[in-house]
Amino acid sequence: MHLYNTRSRRREPFRPRAPGGEVGMYVCGVTPYDDSHIGHARAYVAFDVLFRYLRYLDYEVRYVRNFTDIDDKIIARANQLGEDPFSLSKRYSDDFLSDMAHLQCLPPSVEPRVSDHIDQIVTMIKQIIDNGCAYVVSGDVYFSVDNFPEYGKLSGRKLDDNRAGERVAVDERKKNPADFALWKAAKDGEPWWDSPWGPGRPGWHIECSAMSAQYLGNSFDIHGGGEDLIFPHHENEIAQSRAACCDSSINYWVHNGFVNVNGQKMSKSLGNFITIRKVIELYHPLALRMFLLGTHYRSPINYTVEQLNVASDRLYYTYQTLRDCEESTQQDESSSGGSLPFTTTHCIEKLHEDFEASMSDDLHTSVALAAISEPLKVMNDLLHTRKERSRRNGWNRSRPWKGK
């Protein structure tokens, strides 16, 4: 199996850190402040496929996907609705899990929440400060990117070009504009926890570093997420984790592409924001999954109603063919007990080979789906031939015999 590694910018053979042991995979989860959208579906269906295929290859996989259940966006939405932030995040977390179940995404091994891991986060921040890579300013703690020479290697950005992440406001107290918050001092009306630097809450990036280390150790196999997380989130994760523990490393950084809607990037500001719930009210959930798998996970995918209709028809065709085959097989077993013809058997064997070849080539689901099409066509042709033969035989038996 080969995976494209964002850090090396090339496909690499997949070699687990512990051959014959458990594969560790961490995927950045949602910030639950609103209904999940098809961009979320794109990411988590892609990593569900990776999770499933690794298990298909007989790997034991420990899959960790978090909930960022305390964040600026959650606080702002809770204030807007007059709701407790934790109540709001719990409600949308539950809705997200329901959406994932509808899309038949397997539950991860562990689903940690930031609010349950404050102690681990504080401990990691202490280690970073002790190692000279962070500084305290009036109750806030900032990571010093100047003290981490490898900063920018994942994203390919030069330090001089970097700016603080979109969730981190520019602060004149920073030594470098690209320095980012590890700990935020408490503000009126916001949730807070005690810390050595005063009451406050974690910054966005440190949360994933602490939780991945808690459940997978300082070094593990795969870290995944959307390509929008490459910078600043994953770049900052690497810096934090290495600053806290010098031997921290992740073998493969895997990222999925964006979802566009009618040729435009999906966003709330453009009014083309489509929730998973809205789609599955109109279509079978697996039609959305089929649509997403029809494009390679790293490529951008363009969502249109027409393309979703095509995926829905393809899904129906697949299941109807399998149902017809099952009924035909049951009839064969109850009558002649006939076996599958050579053409069908050969087609199934070839499907197995083509499926593994495409999936082992950086999860080319679109090629795997195309490989499935040929045996489906063969099975439909066979079923049609059998029906025609049965119809002719029935007609011949019912004809009056006029010969002498």
Give the C-alpha separation, 31 to 229, whole Å: 13
Does residue 182 carry a pLDDT above 90? yes
Does residue 400 carry a pLDDT above 50? no
Determine the average pLDDT of the residues in 35-48.
98
Determine the average pLDDT of the residues in 173-186.
95
pLDDT in tens, 317-352: 999 988 888 777 666 555 554 555 555 667 778 888
pLDDT in tens, 246-267: 888 999 999 999 999 988 888 7
Determine the average pLDDT of the residues in 194-223.
98
Does residue 314 carry a pLDDT above 90? yes
Residue of 19 and 394 predicted with greater confidence: 19
Share of the chain above pLDDT 70, in %: 88
Q: What are phi and psi of 369, to 5 degrees?
A: -65, -40
Place of tokens 């109850």: 334
pLDDT band at 165 (very low <50, low <70, confident <90, very high): very low
Q: What is the pLDDT of residue 187?
A: 95
Place of tokens 């035909």: 328
Antiparallel, parallel or unpaired: β 200-202 and 219-226? unpaired
pLDDT band at 137 (very low <50, low <70, confident <90, very high): very high
Q: What is the pLDDT of residue 224?
A: 99
The answer to whether 108 and 139 are in contact (CB under 8 A) is no
pLDDT in tens, 18-36: 988 899 999 999 999 999 9
Does residue 397 carry a pLDDT above 50? no
Helix or strand run (H / E) with residue 264: strand 264-265
Give the C-alpha separation, 59 to 322, whole Å: 29
- The alpha carbon of 355 is separated from its chain's Cα centroid by a whole number of angstroms, namely 21
Q: What are phi and psi of 223, to 5 degrees?
A: -125, 125
Determine the average pLDDT of the residues in 84-94.
98
Q: Which of 6-10, 52-56, 261-265, 269-273 comes out lowest in average pLDDT?
A: 269-273
Does residue 391 carry a pLDDT above 70? no
Does residue 358 carry a pLDDT above 70? yes
pLDDT band at 160 (very low <50, low <70, confident <90, very high): low
Taking phi over 0 as left and psi of -120 to 50 as alpha, with beta for the rest, 257 belongs to: beta
Does residue 102 carry a pLDDT above 70? yes
pLDDT band at 96 (very low <50, low <70, confident <90, very high): very high
Environment class of residue 78 by beta-carbon count within 10 Å: exposed (0-12), middle (13-18) or buried (19+)? buried
What residue ranges do the domains of the chain occupy? Answer: 2-256, 305-395
Q: Which of 23-32, 134-143, 153-162, 231-240 comes out lowest in average pLDDT?
A: 153-162
Average confidence score pLDDT of the chain: 90
Q: What is the pLDDT of residue 323?
A: 87
The answer to whether 114 and 70 are in contact (CB under 8 A) is yes
Does residue 78 carry a pLDDT above 60? yes
The domain made up of 2-256 has a fold known as Rossmann fold (3.40.50)
CA distance readout (Å), 220 to 17, 224, 229: 7, 12, 19
Does residue 168 carry a pLDDT above 50? no
Determine the average pLDDT of the residues in 114-134.
98
